[in-house]
């Protein structure tokens, strides 16, 4: 019995595998070599703060983020919705949304990529029903002003880790600490905020 067809099929399959592998490596190298990066992610986590917006409390959240990076500069948006909005859903949930710019630095390691950076963003906070109720109680007791801030600026620093899953898809983890100033209630609406999140990230280099 001749083994010629089997050998030829094996050679063809091996060649196809080699071409696929080389093409994938070439694509990844080009993506890493590019100065532009487009990214987006779905995430969930925990957010805590020391001023009005959180009533000195903490909350779980879910949301998404996206951005464009040019070398170390980053333009981003980040939407975080209270994960525990109650029976009334998103309409009664809190939100912590930012649009801004930053700088980030990474350390490419095969399979993983640690990163750290700084950001400044325009911040819009939507108060949850529970936060509004708590605010009204403190307002009635004379402990808060009658114009709570919900728009302003947030300065923050981040550190995290991207873990490669397949192609441009990553498992991402990040922790950040920031200081927010919300208008018009400057003074009572200033404070430190902390968050930690995890999610799926899609990153495409150009």
3-state secondary structure 71-132: CCEEEEEEEEEECCCCCCHHHHCCEEEEEEEEEEEECCECCEEEEEEEEEEEEEEECCHHHH
Task: Provide the phi-psi class of 71: left if phi over 0, else alpha when psi is between -120 and 50, else beta.
Answer: left
Task: Provide the phi-psi class of 22: left if phi over 0, else alpha when psi is between -120 and 50, else beta.
Answer: alpha
In whole angstroms, what is the distance from residue 61 CA to residue 43 CA?
8
pLDDT at 20: 44
Contact 132, 119 (CB under 8 A): no
Give tens-digit pLDDT for 141-175: 766 655 566 788 999 999 999 999 998 999 999 99
Task: Retrieve residue 32's tokens.
Answer: 């890493």
Cα pseudo-dihedral 37, 114, 54, 200, rounded to 10: 60
pLDDT, mean over the chain? 77
Helical (H) or strand (E) element with 177: strand 169-183
Model confidence, pTM = 0.72
Q: Compute the Cα dihedral for 34, 121, 194, 45 and give only its sign.
A: negative
* Confidence band for 15, pLDDT divided at 50, 70 and 90: low
Cα–Cα–Cα angle for 59, 135, 122, rounded to 5 degrees: 60
Fold of 35-205: Porin (2.40.160)
């Amino acid at each position: 019995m001749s083994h010629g067809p089997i050998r030829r099929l094996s050679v063809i399959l091996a060649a196809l595998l080699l071409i696929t592998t080389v093409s994938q490596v070439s694509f990844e190298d080009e993506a890493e070599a590019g100065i532009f990066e487009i990214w987006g992610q779905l995430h969930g986590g925990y957010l805590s703060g020391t001023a009005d917006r959180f009533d000195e409390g903490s909350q779980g959240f879910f949301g998404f983020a996206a951005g464009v990076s040019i070398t170390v500069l980053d333009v981003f948006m980040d939407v975080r919705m209270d994960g525990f909005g109650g029976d009334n859903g998103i309409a009664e949930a809190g939100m912590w949304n930012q649009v801004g710019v930053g700088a980030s630095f990474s350390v490419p390691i095969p399979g993983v990529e640690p990163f750290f950076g700084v950001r400044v963003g325009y911040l819009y906070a939507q108060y949850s029903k529970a936060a509004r109720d708590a605010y009204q109680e403190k307002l009635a007791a004379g402990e808060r002003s009658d114009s709570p801030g919900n728009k302003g600026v947030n300065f923050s620093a981040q550190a995290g880790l991207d873990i490669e899953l397949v192609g441009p898809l990553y498992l991402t983890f990040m922790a950040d600490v920031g200081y927010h100033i919300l208008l018009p209630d400057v003074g009572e609406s200033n404070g430190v905020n902390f968050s930690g999140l995890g999610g799926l990230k899609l990153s495409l280099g150009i």
